[in-house]
Structure 1
Amino acid sequence: MKDKEINNVGAGSGHFLMGVTDTVVMFYGYIFPCLDSRSVSEAGDSVRRGESSSEHWPSSPSRFHDSPLRAPPSPLRAPLSPFRLNFSPQQSRRDPLNLTLSQIYKITQNFSKDHIIGVGGFGSVYKAELSNGRIVAIKRAKKENFGALQAEFRNEVALLTQIEHKNLVQLLGYIDDANEQLIISEYVPNGTLREHLDGERGGILKFSQRLGIAIDIAHGLTYLHNYAENPIIHRDVKSSNIMLTTTLGGKVADFGFARTGSTKEGQSHVSTNIKGTAGYVDPEYLRTFHLSPKSDVFSFGILLLEILSGRRPVEITRRKEEKITIRWAFSKFDRGNYKEILDPLMREEVPDEVLKRILSLAFQCAAPYRRDRPNMREVCEQLWKIRKDYNA
């Protein structure tokens, strides 16, 4: 089943249209009553506050067809984490790209289909090699939706200029032209997490590799929520937006739906129209239109179950009792059948206690009310502890 995007649902709507079957409605309306409420300490849950920049645009758009590619300005370095885990590793930006639109046409062979490595709601992503041998990824907006995608394009560029972290895909430059909207980013060579879970990359991820990827994702989200120049909520955390490196390191990608969190004193959320992907979207956000960093935590909980089980959040082709992965998994968990939740393609022995702890964390993250969810920093620390004990 392809991911179904939820986009611009008005706050005055009397019902919520997700573009999928009633199975998805069940995901939010039927599963959560069976989940135990798990209180998690809210200490240290507030995000770093600063001046809001959700409407900021890095520079005036070009109107020249052969305009040079802009490199984003160097962002402010995030402060080192005061905690024992360093969530904001320092990495040096490479020299800015200096390409013209004509050069981009040349290295993509006029955006040949042979160069396409991915397709999404925004448009197609192309792989290209620069004259110095460096490989980059170029995301090109759909021409037929040029106007409608303008806000998403500018939002992604504006936010990417603020962040720099090894677990986030790095922006290298962009072009905003009357004829093209292009985002150029680092090329992550090993495909998406979903492709690996589907076995499309020639191997099956081991448990230790899955746990490492989950930790990488948690690090990236923790940085966005707590250590970016302004708090950033991704809003579309899912397996197809996680890119893997050759060493199976995880990088969070696609910031088209992301936005800055509230910077007002005493306000823990922002009110906004619904955006995201069905099955991953925070049910409290769906109900109230209040977005907070805990909305990403919910999506991460669903993703963590996906990483462990190999199943998508909604499995349309399965039997009724197995269609909603979190419901199916919780039923197994409640009976102590932890190993039955694991991806059957992953043939290795994992201690029950380890599975119990990581599954418990996933269910805490996916609690129906955000007050019962941990924050991403706490999630990171718990995952690190699980990995340490597992390797001991």
Structure 2
Amino acid sequence: MWFLGFSTNNRRSLLIIGAILLVILLTVMLKKWVVYLESQATKCSKREGEDDQKRRRGTSKSSSSLCGPGVIRTYALEELRTATRGFKIRIGVGATSFVYLAELGDGRFGAVKRVMEERGGSKKMFLDEVSVLLRISHPNLVGLLGFCLEKGEQLLLLEYIPNKSLFDKMHTYHGQMSGLLSWSNRLSIALDIARALDYLHSQADPPIIHRDVKSSNILLIDNEHAKLVDFGLCKLGHDTSHGSRTPTTVKGSLGYVDTWYLNTGLVSPKSDVYSFGVLLLELITGLKSIQGSETLAGWTEECRKNDDIQVLHTLLDPKLKGKANLEQLRVLINVANSALLDNSEGRPDMSFIVYTISSCLEPDQLQPDLPV
């Protein structure tokens, strides 16, 4: 029998026939794929054209000029320089960076994080942060919109959260004059950050240790909800689920750094748990993470380990004027105590902390997860 000019009785001919058929099949599939991509590009261009016409008529309801949600793109330096008006309006300062307001058009804003080599921001740290931000998506984590690595500049375009940080709200004159965070506000914020850390530790692939959980890295959407930001010190990899096996350079902020990590150089998700414990004390007491020459954890230790609810009540931020649910106060202090154990293995994981905090909320206080 003959097929395509080759005898099917010959083994070599069969192999040649098979190879020809495979090439034909791949060619057909490739052509279909090209046609699909072209059709998608046409649809995208058509939508963008329609959106552009609507914007000119002032009838567009969309605030995005990108085709499709969640699109992350690279930006030219001039684009971000123009958007920030030459890096004019500074809205934040980090250990290795400055953050500037960016106007993206159509009433949209972003935050440009400008990583500075002269402040210790290396290209490796920048690329590591980009790598982390590209991997994660959670309603309580600040999202990446784009980035730029051009002419020595290292820029991240991030989601803009207008209400500044938890640190600003609690510890600056302007923040306190703008209104007090109620007890229920503080519980809701604690739950949001617990959810963010639980996502990083148990749902992100690979798992991520933040290593710099602190009130200045928590941005307030409003008084009820918050997002965790700044992934410049993150450690990621499948080995993080149980912690590093070899000592690493200790990273973090004074007062928040895990004592086990400080003493051994071994970092794990429980290092974030410790920092979260300090954050809980900050929300409860209204005090900063450092009190004179002591950490807040050390300064409150004797009082917070007392079983008498009246003694625990003395830890409460005086600005609340006693307006707090005492049983919820006990639960949060118990969570903080377990999170601050010197032995990291004895600390709970963030999923348990999320469950514990959400369980102590009144049904009308329990906030649903924000949509991604």
> In the alignment, does 2:357 pair up with 1:386?
no
Q: Residue 391 of structure 1: CA displacement?
A: 5.2
**Structure-2 separation of matches of 1:190 and 1:100:** 28
- What is the alpha-carbon root mean square deviation over aligned residues? 2.2
For 1:173, the equivalent position in structure 2 comes to 146
Secondary structure of the equivalent of 2:333? helix
C-alpha contact 1:261 1:292 (8 A) present in aligned 2 = no
C-alpha contact 1:358 1:386 (8 A) present in aligned 2 = no
For 1:73, the equivalent position in structure 2 comes to none
> In the alignment, does 2:164 pair up with 1:188?
no
C-alpha contact 1:261 1:270 (8 A) present in aligned 2 = no
Q: Residue 157 of structure 1: CA displacement?
A: 0.6
- Residues 200-253 of structure 1 show CA distances to partners (whole Å, capped at 9, x for unaligned) of 331110000000000000000000000012100000000000011035311110
Structure 1 gaps of 5+ residues are 1-91
**Structure-2 separation of matches of 1:145 and 1:192:** 21
Q: Residue 152 of structure 1: CA displacement?
A: 1.4
Q: Residue 143 of structure 1: CA displacement?
A: 4.7
Matches within 5 A, 1:278-357: 278-316=254-292, 323-333=294-304, 334=306, 336=308, 337-357=311-331
> Which residue, 212, 217, 220 being the options, matches 1:236?
212
For 1:125, the equivalent position in structure 2 comes to 99
Do the aligned partners of residues 228 and 391 (structure 1) sit closer, same or farther apart at CA in structure 2, a change above 3 Å counting? closer
Q: Which amino acid aligns with 1:356?
A: R
Do the aligned partners of residues 207 and 134 (structure 1) sit closer, same or farther apart at CA in structure 2, a change above 3 Å counting? same
Do the aligned partners of residues 109 and 343 (structure 1) sit closer, same or farther apart at CA in structure 2, a change above 3 Å counting? same
For 1:217, the equivalent position in structure 2 comes to 193
For 2:9, the equivalent position in structure 1 comes to none
Q: Which amino acid aligns with 1:136?
A: G
C-alpha contact 1:261 1:269 (8 A) present in aligned 2 = no
Higher relative contact order (CA 8 A, sep 6+): 1
- Residues 252-274 of structure 1 show CA distances to partners (whole Å, capped at 9, x for unaligned) of 1000000114439x954343211
Structure 2 gaps of 5+ residues are 1-67, 367-372
Structure ID, larger Rg: 2
**Structure-1 separation of matches of 2:335 and 2:225:** 21
Q: Which amino acid aligns with 1:269?
A: S
C-alpha contact 2:242 2:268 (8 A) present in aligned 1 = no
C-alpha contact 2:90 2:99 (8 A) present in aligned 1 = yes
For 2:170, the equivalent position in structure 1 comes to 197
Q: Residue 163 of structure 1: CA displacement?
A: 0.1
Q: Percent identity?
A: 36
C-alpha contact 1:107 1:130 (8 A) present in aligned 2 = yes
Q: Given the two structures, how large is their TM-score scaled by the length of structure 2?
A: 0.73
**Structure-2 separation of matches of 1:326 and 1:129:** 41
**Structure-2 separation of matches of 1:391 and 1:132:** 35
C-alpha contact 1:338 1:356 (8 A) present in aligned 2 = yes
Secondary structure of the equivalent of 1:139? strand
> In the alignment, does 2:184 pair up with 1:208?
yes
Secondary structure of the equivalent of 2:291? coil
**Structure-2 separation of matches of 1:168 and 1:250:** 8
Matches within 5 A, 1:52-201: 93-97=69-73, 99-112=75-88, 115-145=89-119, 149-198=122-171, 200-201=174-175
> In the alignment, does 2:244 pair up with 1:269?
yes
C-alpha contact 2:103 2:110 (8 A) present in aligned 1 = yes
- Residues 12-61 of structure 1 show CA distances to partners (whole Å, capped at 9, x for unaligned) of xxxxxxxxxxxxxxxxxxxxxxxxxxxxxxxxxxxxxxxxxxxxxxxxxx
Q: Residue 110 of structure 1: CA displacement?
A: 1.1
**Structure-1 separation of matches of 2:249 and 2:239:** 18
**Structure-2 separation of matches of 1:143 and 1:289:** 25
C-alpha contact 1:127 1:138 (8 A) present in aligned 2 = yes
Q: Given the two structures, how large is their TM-score scaled by the length of structure 1?
A: 0.70
Do the aligned partners of residues 181 and 335 (structure 1) sit closer, same or farther apart at CA in structure 2, a change above 3 Å counting? same
Q: Residue 389 of structure 1: CA displacement?
A: 7.0
**Structure-1 separation of matches of 2:255 and 2:91:** 25
C-alpha contact 1:280 1:299 (8 A) present in aligned 2 = yes
- Corresponding residue pairs, total: 292
Larger helix percent: 2
For 2:45, the equivalent position in structure 1 comes to none
Q: Residue 93 of structure 1: CA displacement?
A: 3.9
Q: Residue 328 of structure 1: CA displacement?
A: 3.2
For 1:38, the equivalent position in structure 2 comes to none
> Which residue, 224, 246, 251 being the options, matches 2:227?
251
Secondary structure of the equivalent of 1:135? strand
- Which stretch shows the higher mean deviation, 307-316 or 203-212? 307-316
